[in-house]
Amino acid sequence: MATMPEEFRLPGKKDLFIEADLMSPLDRIANVSILKQHEVDKLYKVENKPVLSSNEQLCFLVRPRIKNMRYIANLVNTDKLAGRTRKYKVIFSPQKFYACEMVLEEEGIYGDVSCDEWAFSLLPLDVDLLSMELPEFFRDYFLEGDQRWINTVAQALHLLSTLYGSFPNCYGIGRCAKMSHELWRKLEEEEDGETKGRRPEIGHVFLLDRDVDFVTALCSQVVYEGLVDDTFRIKCGSVDFGPEVTSSDRSLKVLLNAEDKVFNEIRNEHFSNVFGFLSQKARNLQAQYDRRRGMDIKQMKNFVSQELKGLKQEHRLLSLHIGACESIMKKKTKQDFQELIKTEHALLEGFNIRESTGYIEEHIDRQVSLIESLRLMCLLSITENGLIPKDYRSLKTQYLQSYGPEHLLTFSNLRRAGLLTEQAPGDTLTAVESKVSKLVTDKAAGRITDAFSSLAKRSNFRAISKKLNLIPRVDGEYDLKVPRDMAYVFSGAYVPLSCRIIEQVLERRSWQGLDEVVRLLNCSEFAFTDMTKEDKASSESLRLILVVFLGGCTFSELSALRFLGREKGYRFIFLTTAVTNSARLMEAMSEVKV
Amino acid sequence: MNRTKGDEEEYWNSSKFKAFTFDDEDDELSQLKESKRAVNSLRDFVDDDDDDDDLERVSWSGEPVGSISWTIKETAGNSGSTHEGREQKSRNNFSSYGQLSKPVSTYSLSSLFKGRTRFGSFQSLSDALSDTSAKSYAPELGRPKGEYRDYSNDWSLSDTVRRLRKGKVCSLERFRSLQDKLQLLEEAVSMHDGNVITAVLIFLKRTLSKEILFRELEVRQVALRHLIHFLKEIGDQKLLLDLFRFLDRTDELALSHYREHLNIQDPEKRKEFLKTCVGLPFSAEDSAHIQDHYTLLERQIIIEATDRHLESAGQTEIFRKHPRKASILNMPLVTTLFYSCFYHYTEAEGTFSSPVNLKKTFKIPDKQYVLTALAARAKLRAWHDVDALFTTKNWLGYTKKRAPIGFHRVVEILHKNSAPVQILQEYINLVEDVDIKLNLATKFKCHDVVIDTCRDLKDRQQLVAYRSKVDKGSAEEEKIDATLNNLHIRWKN
């Protein structure tokens, strides 16, 4: 709490303009009365509307984006034309970019506004989850190849190592992971001393690029928290439950974290278990209330003063989550979720491709959902190493006809990011595939694609899946109530690739024996291990693992790793640039605002 | 990869995925409903007036009162003269509710974390981050970094880049020779910080001719990507196109130009702009899409003008009965086809608005056409048209029902548009796969189909099971009984 106010040091009354994306994060750590204490008079959202403020001092809290600079420049220049003088202060969060200053200079207001930075880059969303709340990281880096946020990541790591001691074991995979790690190391060297001598509390750090595993992020989620995110969109740790959930005439904003006792017990469960749990809970609650029947006055007084409040709270949470489940069931039944999941599983396992392609085609033809159709195409592309040219053309044409020709731009983006590609001619034979890829070195392939400025690589998903045993062979029924492996987060059909890699590396404490996998992931140059020789780490700290997701993680991945933690006696904490899911990834690739 | 059909069936029939189905609305939902009833029954006891205190107060919009998001919405609602009064009101809200609401959303993390930690020494995330001593987390900003001006020109290459990385102002003017500039750029790239790379590029862009800049960046891919993104962001379209031209990236050049149409709102102007895109060096495939985009908008403008006129004249029945909800401009092709099947179904092929004309012009596949026409005609409950859509005559003059999309889909679409049972029944009977047929008939309560199918399958047990699902004393029940008692049927079970 105490860290927040300093940034608003601009003596006297002022109006504060906040960028929409920063509102929710700020809400998590401050409220209006704190702002009032800092003489903030009125609050406005940064948006393209005329400004009505009559205050003499204006303060802007924004992300370092060009469009924000234009907005501010416009405002200041309007004031200038009207002969009005005010004080302006721009606070960039988490940091200022030179491109922004350049725009201020070009617009002729450099010097008229003062600039500041608020290095607010780690928001604790939960007991084990830190978010940088930078969803644009994904597009900026994985589509545009802009490395502007790498410094932010390095700073965040640096802060964590200042707080918890240096990290004795670091592992990473992905180009961005490698660069972030290097820059962080640099920071540590430069600001030597602070971490020296502290006993390390975090035994292992694992950095992972989102493009190492797109597949997991593209799948429909079926653990409760993931399903809630896919259905209602969890924003900055809280969700807006509409009237259909609250069974009243108003919406309710609900904070979802370990604090919510009911939620905490079901968040990582497969959705099919949730009903049973909730009805058991409901019965228990009923019994608790029923106890009051036989009570005398004194007992009743006790009951009311001591237990009632807790019971009421539980009751409220229980009815909320039952309402949410009901609403999810209705929506999923309506959209034929079962059919969808079946198709996804077939894609993951790599059989019946024709039928799945047909399913996707029909999805598009019926204009079911613009984002879903795109997601399924990407899943098909990545699992199959790109679409057959004939399919690519026909699906693309139908997509443009169903959802609008301007999505041509989205297709171009998806191709550049490697999410939706077309197999090169002669690329179709999967049997020959591995042999060929062995012959062609990554470098040569890299040069060819680089000509098109593409970060895209062949996904080799099928081969990786085989190597890492991502599709569990199960005899009989996969008991989702008693999961046997991380595959439970996808109904027992698939072990998330990202989590499997982490598991394997932690087991070996290195990449040893994983060379082939690393090569198939196109990461030969970007898989690293960095161990300090000092043996200060306690055995306790060695069980604590920080996983850093660059480009976002999904709730399913968190659930899978929490499961792994319970199995192996690890404790995971997560740092992500943002929590993501398939829809967010697809939206980030779209040129057309949907 | 190529599993046999048998394998697949075995796969889907194996119990692995049967643990849970979203189709089983009955079972799962009833369990849920039961829990809900149980919880709701407690409501009378639980819901007294004073129990709001442990819940966040929430405004009508759903935001917690006193939250920043909520307050901003309030300010946005204010304007001009009512400003002061409204503001007073919201201020009251803060003092009365602010105290109540906040603890709920802030206390949670730290208090909980302490209780949960298994590792005694591990400081909780939220505690650590809100610790005032953790200054590096939110550095003191009384004196903005930017004001530490430094006019020294003597920084070494690596010092310069380091200072840039720390956000300090640092003059780059002394890097005048091309070699110095490129070394500076390479040092920035080696640090990986995109912000610094862009800073150097801004300097290079200002101090180098674009030919030299482009030439040098062509062999420096990381820096090149940063420049492209920077140009996109500041909207320097001209230089961006020059760059693509220089790099011979014709595809990106064309797309980048095409992208501008999104900023043109006026339909006529947008159309004219699209016309200029038609000749751009797209791939052969994309060229066709761009041409289609132009043609589509051209058609839409014509249709829109005519139909708006017809609608406002009020003489045309279809527009009177079903007023248009939105303009057709800039809608996708399939939506346009739906519109045309809805409002212009019977028009001759010669008119721009006729479905057949659209189908021909844009080479819409049969499947897509039938799907869309079906949805449109079903929405109007024009069952005759639906019928005609699937009726084909062979050369002998016999009529036959054919559907390029599969009759099970037809049935579903009809049901979505609440077709009567007789119509549904007719199409369910056309479904070839018996299991699917039975499923659909059960789902949509087409009793006759279910009964007849069971009879044909000689599946007595299924019929008996179905009997329990129909209403007592209904005609269906009678028919089932009659069938079950029919001695001529040789049941298989």
Among B121, B166, B223, CA closest to A158? B166
Q: Is residue A458 part of a domain?
A: no
Cα(A176)–Cα(A181) distance, integer angstroms: 8
Q: Are A216 and A498 in contact (CB under 8 A)?
A: yes
For residue B74, what pLDDT band results from cuts at 50, 70 and 90? low
Helix, strand or coil, per DSSP, at residue A557: helix
Number of C-beta neighbours around residue A138 at 10 A: 24
> Do A128 and A113 share a structural domain?
no
Contacts of B118 in chain A (CB under 8 A): 571
- At residue B254, the pLDDT reads 96
Helix, strand or coil, per DSSP, at residue B248: coil
Contacts 24+ apart (CB under 8 A), A234-242: A234/A555, A234/A579, A235/A24, A236/A24, A236/A25, A236/A27, A236/A28, A236/A123, A236/A125, A236/A131, A236/A133, A237/A28, A237/A125, A237/A126, A237/A131, A238/A24, A238/B105, A240/B62, A241/A320, A241/A323, A241/A324, A242/A327
> Do A306 and A263 share a structural domain?
yes
Q: Is residue A309 part of a domain?
A: yes
pLDDT at B54 over 80: no
pLDDT tens-digit map of B142-195: 444 444 444 555 678 989 999 999 888 788 999 999 999 999 999 999 999 999
Helix, strand or coil, per DSSP, at residue A296: coil
Q: Is residue A585 part of a domain?
A: yes
Backbone angle region of A418, left / alpha / beta, with phi > 0 → left and psi within -120 to 50 → alpha: left
Give B151's contacts (C-beta < 8 A, 6+ positions apart).
Answer: B171
| H or E segment and range at residue A575 | strand A571-576
Q: Of A394, A422, A450, which residue is a domain's last?
A: A422
How near does any CA of chain A get to the CA of B362, in Å? 9
Q: Are B168 and B150 in contact (CB under 8 A)?
A: yes
Q: Which of residues 26-85 of A touch B (CB under 8 A)?
A: 26-33, 35-36, 42-45, 52, 66
Cβ of residue B141 closer than 8 Å to a chain A Cβ = yes
Q: What mean pLDDT is reported for chain B?
A: 77
> Do A306 and A281 share a structural domain?
yes
- At residue A99, the pLDDT reads 96
Q: Is residue A552 part of a domain?
A: yes
Contacts of B105 in chain A (CB under 8 A): 27-28, 238, 255
Cα(A454)–Cα(A467) distance, integer angstroms: 27
> Do A558 and A504 share a structural domain?
yes
Q: Are B460 and B493 in contact (CB under 8 A)?
A: yes
Q: Is residue A484 part of a domain?
A: no
Number of C-beta neighbours around residue B176 at 10 A: 10
Write the CA distances from B348 to A293, B224, B365, integer angstroms.
Answer: 78, 55, 20
User: A252 lies in which domain range?
Assistant: 238-335
Beta partners for residue B58, in sequence order: B64
Burial annotation B64-88 (CB, 10 A radius, 16+ → b, else e): bbbbbbbbbbbbeebeeeeeeeeee
Higher-pLDDT residue of B22 and B430 is B430
What one-letter code names the amino acid at B149? R
| H or E segment and range at residue A370 | helix A370-383
Cα(A36)–Cα(A52) distance, integer angstroms: 19
Residues of chain B with pLDDT > 70, as a percent, come to 70
Q: Which of B2, B61, B137, B262 to mutate to test the interface with A (most CBs of A within 10 A)?
A: B137
Contact B58 A250 (CB under 8 A): yes
For residue B28, what pLDDT band results from cuts at 50, 70 and 90? low
Cα(B307)–Cα(B309) distance, integer angstroms: 5
- Lowest mean pLDDT segment, chosen from A429-433, A560-564, B360-364, B449-453: A429-433
pLDDT at B3 over 90: no
Among A554, A520, A571, CA closest to A173? A520
Q: Are A252 and A240 in contact (CB under 8 A)?
A: yes
How near does any CA of chain B get to the CA of A439, in Å? 23
Q: Which of A3, A7, A23, A31 to mutate to test the interface with B (most CBs of B within 10 A)?
A: A31
Contact A115 B144 (CB under 8 A): yes
Among A548, A529, A545, CA closest to A537? A545
Cβ of residue A342 closer than 8 Å to a chain B Cβ = yes
Cα(B341)–Cα(B385) distance, integer angstroms: 11
Cα(A335)–Cα(A396) distance, integer angstroms: 23
Give A459's contacts (C-beta < 8 A, 6+ positions apart).
Answer: A214, A215, A381, A382, A383, A385, A386, A418
Cα(A529)–Cα(A523) distance, integer angstroms: 13
Cβ of residue B138 closer than 8 Å to a chain A Cβ = yes
- Burial category of B398 from C-beta neighbours within 10 Å (exposed 0-12, middle 13-18, buried 19 and up): exposed
Q: Of A76, A94, A119, which residue is a domain's last?
A: A119
For residue B103, what pLDDT band results from cuts at 50, 70 and 90? very low
Of the partner residues B33, B144, B194, the one whose CB lies closest to the CB of residue A148: B194
> Do A350 and A409 share a structural domain?
yes
Contact A352 B3 (CB under 8 A): yes
For residue B27, what pLDDT band results from cuts at 50, 70 and 90? low
Q: Is residue A406 part of a domain?
A: yes
Q: Give the total number of structural domains in chain A.
A: 4
Q: Which of residues 509-538 of A touch B (CB under 8 A)?
A: none
Of the partner residues B39, B101, B362, the one whose CB lies closest to the CB of residue A318: B39
Give A421's contacts (C-beta < 8 A, 6+ positions apart).
Answer: A381, A386, A387, A415, A456
How near does any CA of chain B get to the CA of A515, in Å? 25
How near does any CA of chain B get to the CA of A280, in Å? 8
> Do A112 and A17 share a structural domain?
yes
Size of interface A-B (CB pairs under 8 A): 397
Calculate the CA B185 to chain-centre distance. Answer: 40
Cα(A532)–Cα(A537) distance, integer angstroms: 10
Q: Of A66, A96, A119, which residue is a domain's last?
A: A119
Cβ of residue B268 closer than 8 Å to a chain A Cβ = no
Contact A322 B75 (CB under 8 A): no
Contacts of A309 in chain B (CB under 8 A): 54
Q: What stretches in chain A show pLDDT beneath 50?
A: 1-5, 7, 427-456
Q: Are B73 and B63 in contact (CB under 8 A)?
A: yes
Helix, strand or coil, per DSSP, at residue B103: helix
Residue with tokens 């996804």: A344
The DSSP call for residue A46 is E
* HEC assignment per residue over A64-133: CCHHHHHHHHHHHHHHHHCCCCCEEEEEECCCCCHHHHHHHHHCCCECCEEEEECCCCCEEEECCEEECC
Average pLDDT over residues B427-454: 90
Contacts of A8 in chain B (CB under 8 A): none
**What CATH number is given to the structural domain containing A518?**
3.40.50.1910
Read off φ and ψ for residue B88, nearest 5 degrees. Answer: -55, -45
User: Any idea what the Cα angle at residue A368 is, between residues A342 and A390, rounded to 5°?
Assistant: 75
**What CATH number is given to the structural domain containing A327?**
3.90.830.10
Contact B130 A430 (CB under 8 A): no
Contact A397 B289 (CB under 8 A): yes
- At residue B152, the pLDDT reads 54
**What CATH number is given to the structural domain containing A369?**
1.25.40.850
- Burial category of B486 from C-beta neighbours within 10 Å (exposed 0-12, middle 13-18, buried 19 and up): exposed
In terms of residues, how long is chain B? Answer: 493
Cα(A470)–Cα(A493) distance, integer angstroms: 8
Cα(A206)–Cα(A500) distance, integer angstroms: 13
**What CATH number is given to the structural domain containing A86?**
3.40.50.2060
Give B105's contacts (C-beta < 8 A, 6+ positions apart).
Answer: A27, A28, A238, A255, B56, B64, B67
Query: What sign does the dihedral A270-A588-B332-A358 (CA atoms) show?
Result: negative
> Do A148 and A103 share a structural domain?
no
| H or E segment and range at residue A283 | helix A271-290
Write the CA distances from A225 to A274, A375, A571, B260, integer angstroms.
Answer: 11, 20, 19, 39
Backbone angle region of A38, left / alpha / beta, with phi > 0 → left and psi within -120 to 50 → alpha: alpha
Contact B195 A412 (CB under 8 A): no
Residue A256, both tokens: 């979802």
Contacts of A312 in chain B (CB under 8 A): 46, 51, 54
- At residue A396, the pLDDT reads 97
Average pLDDT over residues B373-383: 93
Q: Are A46 and A20 in contact (CB under 8 A)?
A: yes
Among A22, A26, A120, A107, CA closest to A72? A107
Q: Is residue A460 part of a domain?
A: no
Higher-pLDDT residue of A552 and B101 is A552
Contacts of B63 in chain A (CB under 8 A): 253
> Do A346 and A327 share a structural domain?
no
- At residue B142, the pLDDT reads 41
Contact B138 A4 (CB under 8 A): yes
Q: Is residue A3 part of a domain?
A: no
Q: Which of residues 181-240 of B touch A (CB under 8 A)?
A: 191-199, 202, 221-222, 224-226, 228-230, 232-235
Helix, strand or coil, per DSSP, at residue A442: helix
Of the partner residues A337, A351, A452, the one whose CB lies closest to the CB of residue B8: A351
Q: Are B480 and B467 in contact (CB under 8 A)?
A: yes
Query: Looking only at Cα atoms, what is the longest distance across chain B?
Result: 108
- Burial category of A204 from C-beta neighbours within 10 Å (exposed 0-12, middle 13-18, buried 19 and up): buried
Cβ of residue B51 closer than 8 Å to a chain A Cβ = yes
